Amino acid sequence: MRVSTATSAEIRFSLVYSGLFLALGAHLAFGQLWYEDWGLDPAEIGWLSAFAIAVRIVAGVALPALSDWIGKPRRFLAVLSLIGAMAGVAHLGVETRTGLYLLTAVLACAFAGMIPLTDAHGYAAADRMKFSYRRARSVGSFAFLAATFCVGAIAERFGNDVVMIWIGASLALGAWAALAAPMHGQKTPGPVWRGLGEVLARPGIPMFLLCVAFLNASHAVYYAYGSIHWRAIGYSETLIGGLWAWGVLAEIALFLVGRSVIEHLGPTRGLALAGLAGAVRWGAMTFDPGIAALFALQTLHAATFGLMHLSALEFIARTVPEARRATAQGLMSAMAGGLAMVAATVLAAWAYPLYDAAAYLIGAFAGLGGAVAAVVLARALRVQPHKT
């Protein structure tokens, strides 16, 4: 049976997302534990996380803009994935803090470029070739889910060096898949920074970036200390992986119905709702709830990340031309989420060693800030829900 062009494109992007999110799942859920086992204390892990985010700010702006300017996104993405794979495996041989910071910077650069490039070209290709972006992206979320389950169970038996081996193998898969993905690129005239200026000058973009900055930053304590805190209170790596996985399952469920949700709400209302969900989720985490309540709160990941992600992509699709969307994605990931995430992670590095779970208040207030920014953005643009 012959596979249609649309189906073939969806499968290829699904493979790209698989490689990326197999690596991200291992890195986000268990990278903290690998650093702790390597010899860093909680405060040092916080500073290393803040350093990685600072690197992503620069790389996340520069690399997607450079890709748009060069006009060869498949090769660009494949090279970034391969560099990330080598950096991941090289962690196993690092012996000094200087070396660890260097490898962290290289891996951060790889992720900073890969995420916005994959999202921008995947969303555009889905629109152009008439396949479901939500399904392709959901495969990535399933890959993240598989990573949190599998890496947790394997690491519990064989040690946390498995984390870096998994990241290397996953990004190597991403490099191979990127070469076959249907990405369109065209070299853009003028200097690289011209595209950045064109995106920033579009109506609503600065307030949109502020909104997404708050919403991304609300996850800082969770990403930097969530697994460490759960292990400190007695949870096993397998249970920790299950908690991460449950949040991703909720995210997948939203992705599968996300188009109708965004069409009903509109992007700015979706962003506001994501912020309110963050205030509830992170505020409740300060009380160190039991396992059943934790699983219930992890369900809100569908809103705090999933709804935010879909709403942000839709806002960019409505306001930025396709030729500049990778640049816009890079600005969103780096300048917005990155700057605020650095500040929130540095604050977490100070707050968590002193106050434990109460540090999640940082996320609760950031969620509220994002909700307020979304309301201001909606009023300024008078954006109404999109009806079909």
Q: How far is CA 46 from CA 105, 228, 350, in A?
A: 15, 11, 8
What helix, strand, coil percent values describe the chain, rounded to 5? 85, 0, 15
- The pLDDT assigned to 214 comes to 95
- The pLDDT assigned to 351 comes to 94
Q: How far is CA 373 from CA 54, 210, 302, 344, in A?
A: 23, 7, 20, 17
- The pLDDT assigned to 387 comes to 39
Q: Which residues contact 204 (CB under 8 A, 6 or more apart)?
A: 315, 319, 377, 380, 381
Whose CA is closest to 183, among 66, 62, 330, 323? 323
Q: Which residues contact 39 (CB under 8 A, 6 or more apart)?
A: none
Based on its alpha-carbon atoms, the radius of gyration of the chain, rounded to whole angstroms, reads: 19
**Degrees to nearest 5, angle at CA 160 with 85 and 56:** 45
- Structural tokens at position 46: 């916080």
Q: Whole-prediction pTM value?
A: 0.76
- The pLDDT assigned to 3 comes to 62
Whose CA is closest to 311, among 281, 278, 266? 266
User: Could you give the residue ranges of the DSSP H alpha helices within 266-307?
Assistant: 267-285, 291-299, 301
Q: Which residues contact 355 (CB under 8 A, 6 or more apart)?
A: none
User: Could you write out the DSSP letters of every residue in 144-180?
Assistant: HHHHHHHHHHHHHHH-THHHHHHHHHHHHHHHHHHTT
CATH number for region 5-181+196-381: 1.20.1250.20
pLDDT tens profile 150-177: 888 898 888 889 999 999 999 999 999 9
Q: How far is CA 220 from CA 106, 112, 137, 258, in A?
A: 21, 16, 23, 24
Q: How far is CA 233 from CA 64, 240, 288, in A?
A: 40, 11, 9
Residue 92: CB atoms within 10 A of its CB come to 13
Domain regions of the chain by residue span: 5-181+196-381
- The pLDDT assigned to 28 comes to 84
Amino acid sitting at position 160: N
Q: Are 151 and 241 in contact (CB under 8 A)?
A: yes
- The pLDDT assigned to 256 comes to 83
Q: How far apart are CA 164 and CA 87, in angstroms?
A: 9
pLDDT tens profile 107-133: 999 998 898 888 888 888 887 888 888
Low-confidence ranges of the chain (pLDDT < 70): 1-3, 184-195, 258, 335-337, 383-388
- The pLDDT assigned to 262 comes to 82
Q: How far is CA 223 from CA 45, 74, 204, 207, 226, in A?
A: 11, 29, 29, 25, 6
Q: How far apart are CA 145 and CA 17, in angstroms?
A: 12
Q: Are 186 and 71 in contact (CB under 8 A)?
A: yes
The per-type count for the chain, helices as H runs and strands as E runs, is: 17, 0
Q: How far apart are CA 197 and CA 63, in angstroms?
A: 15
Phi first, then psi, for residue 292 (nearest 5°) are: -60, -45
CA-CA-CA-CA torsion sign (249, 251, 252, 256) = positive
- The pLDDT assigned to 149 comes to 81
- The pLDDT assigned to 153 comes to 84
State the DSSP H helix or E strand holding residue 232, giving kind and residue range, or none if neither. helix 220-232
